[in-house]
Amino acid sequence: MNKNYLLVYSEQLATDIEELCTNLKAPTNTIFQLRKSSTSIYANICEAQYAQSKADMLSKFSISLKECNETEGWLKLLFNSKVIDEKTFKDYRNLCGRIRRLLISSCKTLKDQL
């Protein structure tokens, strides 16, 4: 059985960011938004596994793609504010990038099938 890398990577991101947020000294709203966007990526990818149609799956993946971009934005804000170091920022940004590329490819495939 093939491994579903979207699920694997999005679960890893959500879990890792949850752990990161418990140790951050940053404004509560920023931490809340980062947690919300990263867990939304995972939740929508999970939901897409049992989509009612290809259009529904495309919708869930599209939401995940937007949330992935938002997560990167919050991470960049934390890096620019010196709340997280460069290595932490790059590690999470790279994971978001992997997820984003898989989502873009999946969305393109689904659009071609509609």
Instruction: Please tell me the predicted confidence (pLDDT) of residue 1.
Output: 63
Tens digits of per-residue pLDDT, 36-65? 999 999 999 999 999 999 999 999 999 999
User: DSSP character for 87?
Assistant: H
Instruction: Please tell me the predicted confidence (pLDDT) of residue 26.
Output: 79
Instruction: Please tell me the predicted confidence (pLDDT) of residue 97.
Output: 97
Q: What's the distance, Cα to Cα, between the start and end of the chain in Å?
A: 26
Token pair for 56:
């529904």
CA-based nearest residue to 16, from 84, 110, 95, 76 = 95
Q: Judge contact between 74 and 37, C-beta under 8 A.
A: yes
Instruction: Please tell me the predicted confidence (pLDDT) of residue 4.
Output: 93
5-113 fold: de novo design (two linked rop proteins) (1.20.1440)
Residues of the chain with pLDDT under 70: 1
Spatial separation of the C-alpha atoms in residues 83 and 51, rounded to whole Å? 38
Annotated domain spans of the chain: 5-113
Instruction: Please tell me the predicted confidence (pLDDT) of residue 34.
Output: 96
